[in-house]
Amino acid sequence: MDLTRRDAIALSGSTLAGLSLTGLVANELLGQQVPPAGAAAQEWPTTLVERPRRAGFPADLPLNADGSAPEHPESAAGPIQEGQNPMWRTPDRSVPIVETDYRQMAIKVDTRGLGLLGGTLHFSDLEKLPRVTHTFLLQCGAQTPRGIVKWTGVKFSDFADMLGIVPGTHYARFIAADRFYVDEDLETLRHPQVMLAWLMNDQPIPPQNGAPLRLVIPFRYGNRSIKSITEILFGTPGLPQAPLPG
């Protein structure tokens, strides 16, 4: 089939709009959830039918009146209570193979023309920023995983400022070692409680809990605090229009 130049431009533009930011292959775009190993495929109903709700879901996420997360004393910090199924999206739910030593981290940062810096993030870059420590409840939508955890790292706002992210940037995408990803708007990410953390309870984050670097958004459910970050991309649907001449 022959394409006109106009058709080719339209096709390439729609393709880039849908796929360029993700960096994911097609089958990874079909859904975030990976069915348990050995699970049998179920025939999908041809009409709307009543479905049982998940028991105990969502779990309570206690927040302050302003929507922020309560700060807990360091003495309350402890391990994360894991559920029966590890929260990884690998086929067998195992911890993905990744460099877990935060001092050796090499994370792709693509600012896509929206910042002064981009490339590969190393721990030496984060060391230049003010270090912060907070103790927050990590609560997933289900009853577990959950736990009060002391996190140490840097504020995401300081990280974004280091990159020189322009004010019109709309959101960032975080991609984990298991190819799970989350998108968060920059207004949320710049909240003073949002962190990039590499220590958990004063120790390097264990591999099962998200080494070498983890996002911490304490006023959201735990799956938004994406583990084992390998890529950070920035995007926007369009920068603000310049004022028209008077």
CATH number at residue 189: 3.90.420.10
pTM: 0.78
Q: How many CA atoms lie within 13 A of 83 on its CB side?
A: 14
pLDDT at 96: 81
Name 31's Cβ contacts closer than 8 Å, sequence gap at least 6. none
In a domain, 99, yes or no: yes
pLDDT in tens, 91-114: 878 888 888 999 999 999 999 999
Where in the sequence is the domain holding 88, given as residue range(s)?
Answer: 72-235
Range of weakest confidence among 28-37, 70-79, 215-224: 28-37
Higher pLDDT, 163 or 143: 163
User: Does residue 160 belong to any structural domain of this protein?
Assistant: yes
**Is 246 among the domain residues?**
no
53 lies in some domain: no
Query: Which of 17-26, 59-68, 137-146 holds the top average pLDDT?
Result: 59-68
**Whether the Cβ atoms of residue 136 and residue 68 lie closer than 8 Å to each other:** no
Which pLDDT score is estimated for 56?
81
Q: Is residue 175 part of a domain?
A: yes
H-only helix segments in 128-179? 156-163
At 22 the pLDDT is 45
Q: What's the number of domains the chain is made of?
A: 1
Does any domain span residue 47? no
Rg (CA), the chain: 20
Cα(137)–Cα(158) distance, integer angstroms: 23
**Looking at the domain assignment, is residue 189 inside a domain?**
yes
Q: Is residue 242 part of a domain?
A: no
Task: Using the predicted structure, report yes or no on whether residue 129 has a pLDDT greater than 80.
Answer: yes
pLDDT score at 17: 40
